[in-house]
Amino acid sequence: MFSCLTRGVAPDDPCRRYCGLKNQGATCHLNTVLQALYMTPEFRQGLLKLQPGELPPTGKAVCTVFAKMAHGNRTVSTKPLTSALRPVYVCTRQQDCHDTWLMLCDRLESDLKQTPLAKLVAQLFEGRQSDYVKCHKCATVTNTQDTFSNLSLAVPEEEEGAST
């Protein structure tokens, strides 16, 4: 299975200047997700290969933002995307990047089902993990494979009095 996780994250052109995204109030989390997706060439180029008529509203709005990011020299508005994501996404409500990532990927997967990019999000951002349990009495091993699209990591709290 192809994954964008198998390559480095360096930009396509190290001499290229990049532009930012305008904040519409509480859209810093959306802007962060969009910038990460834009810097994933397989995702960006995959979307931009389709003709505008082949793209559903969410995909078309992401392409519009990406095209302006690629060719502009000023900050780019995300209003086409926030409009396409209504009523699920409200740019005045505080969210975090993880919630925004899940919402955007879910919307894109749903919208791209009828296009040649139906599996784009899954191919790039899903993985498989294998969980196994071994019985200490009879040595029977049970193996379960699960698909994941995000990983949760427990971050231990800093101990009191510990210096960093």
> pLDDT tens per residue, the chain (164 residues)?
444 445 454 555 656 667 789 988 888 889 999 999 999 999 999 888 888 788 888 989 999 999 898 887 789 999 989 888 887 776 666 678 888 898 999 999 998 898 888 999 999 999 998 988 999 999 999 999 998 888 778 888 887 666 55
**Cα–Cα distances in angstroms (integers) from residue 57 to residues 37, 93, 117, 157, in the given order:** 17, 22, 14, 42
> Residue written as tokens 């200490």?
136
For residue 151, the model assigns a pLDDT of 79
For residue 8, the model assigns a pLDDT of 52
